[in-house]
Copies of this chain bind each other. A is one copy, B any other.
């Protein structure tokens, strides 16, 4: 049921994004293509589903929330375009990332690989800047669907004052981590970063759906608070689980190389907990994989074995499970409905999904 409904939502949202003419007049062509690329590149569309289903949970008409739902997907994607430049990620959902695609488009202009890479970076910055604007314009269009100015004003302000600042601060913390001593970064700091980087936008999605449903501009309404906390908790659990998948999933379904966090020396809760739980000698073995340029299948197997042996595997899973259970209990007081069921399933899926 969940996957079917997610797919249904995905089709509706993609149609809205495809039919919006915002990118149509952009020149040159490769910039226009870069602007529509990520927003139409699939993904699970959890953010838009969360927004629509929260709207449904509070008795709202989902049709009214469609532009806001498409908007959060585009908003999410501009941050991915800039993050991929900053994190030097060459892939996104199994395809080249925007700056790499644009670098390839530069071959018409120059054979110099360094110039191509520079070209890719520069146009990807601009593509993200335009997507940022596109997302806001899509949100503004909600007025056409009958969302009141009072609600829209809060949605706009909240996007600037809370989401943008938190989301970008989360990315900034993440970047700062890579310049700090791996040993000095605490599990709490990582969790804070994940909450800012992912939780803020998810909490916004839930609040937005709720406010549109109850035609309100009151972010302090207890119902709005509850769904927002639900999303924040589920989102953080999702990220913790994502760390786990980064090591235990297979590369093809993950859409990016396995153990890339370890290769890049990025701190993850799972790896941190494993190292602190293992005896010194084994911890040193695990630590030795950090920043290794490549990790063989055999090495990956011993990483997995050591993490399992440390008990971090279970500890981290339990932490995520606890968060999901707390998240779900926040929805208890809402009347039963198709959307309540979907949100419960969505929370479970965030935890259990095998990609």
Residues of A within 8 A of B (CB): 22, 25-28, 31, 79, 82, 85-86, 106, 109-110, 115, 119, 122-123, 125-126, 128-130, 132-134, 136-137, 140, 143, 149, 153, 156-157, 159-161, 164-165, 168-169, 171-173, 175-176, 179-180
Assembly CA distance A164 to B130 (angstroms): 7
| B129 lies within 8 A of A86 (CB) | no
Select A136's contact among B31, B110, B136, B165, beta carbons within 8 Å: B136
| A82 lies within 8 A of B129 (CB) | yes
Select A129's contact among B27, B106, B164, beta carbons within 8 Å: B164
> Can you identify 14 A-B contacts, CB atoms within 8 angstroms?
A22-B160, A22-B161, A27-B173, A82-B126, A86-B122, A86-B126, A115-B179, A119-B175, A119-B179, A126-B172, A126-B175, A132-B164, A136-B136, A137-B160
Residues on B with beta carbons closer than 8 Å to the beta carbon of A157: 137, 140
Residue of B nearest to A166 (CB): B25
* This protein's copies in its complex: 2
Given the known inter-chain contacts A109-B180, A156-B140, A179-B119, please indicate yes or no for A169 contacting B26, CB distance below 8 A. Answer: yes
| A179 lies within 8 A of B140 (CB) | no
Separation in Å of the A134 CB from the closest CB of chain B?
A: 7
| A143 lies within 8 A of B134 (CB) | no
| A156 lies within 8 A of B156 (CB) | yes
Given contacts A122-B175, A123-B172, 18 further A-B contacts (CB under 8 A): A26-B169, A27-B169, A28-B173, A31-B172, A79-B129, A86-B125, A123-B175, A126-B168, A129-B132, A132-B132, A133-B161, A133-B164, A133-B165, A137-B160, A140-B156, A140-B160, A149-B149, A156-B156
Select A165's contact among B86, B130, B153, B156, beta carbons within 8 Å: B130
Residues on B with beta carbons closer than 8 Å to the beta carbon of A160: 22, 133-134, 136-137, 140
Assembly CA distance A60 to B125 (angstroms): 38
Separation in Å of the A151 CB from the closest CB of chain B?
A: 12
Given the known inter-chain contacts A140-B156, A160-B137, please indicate yes or no for A168 contacting B129, CB distance below 8 A. Answer: yes
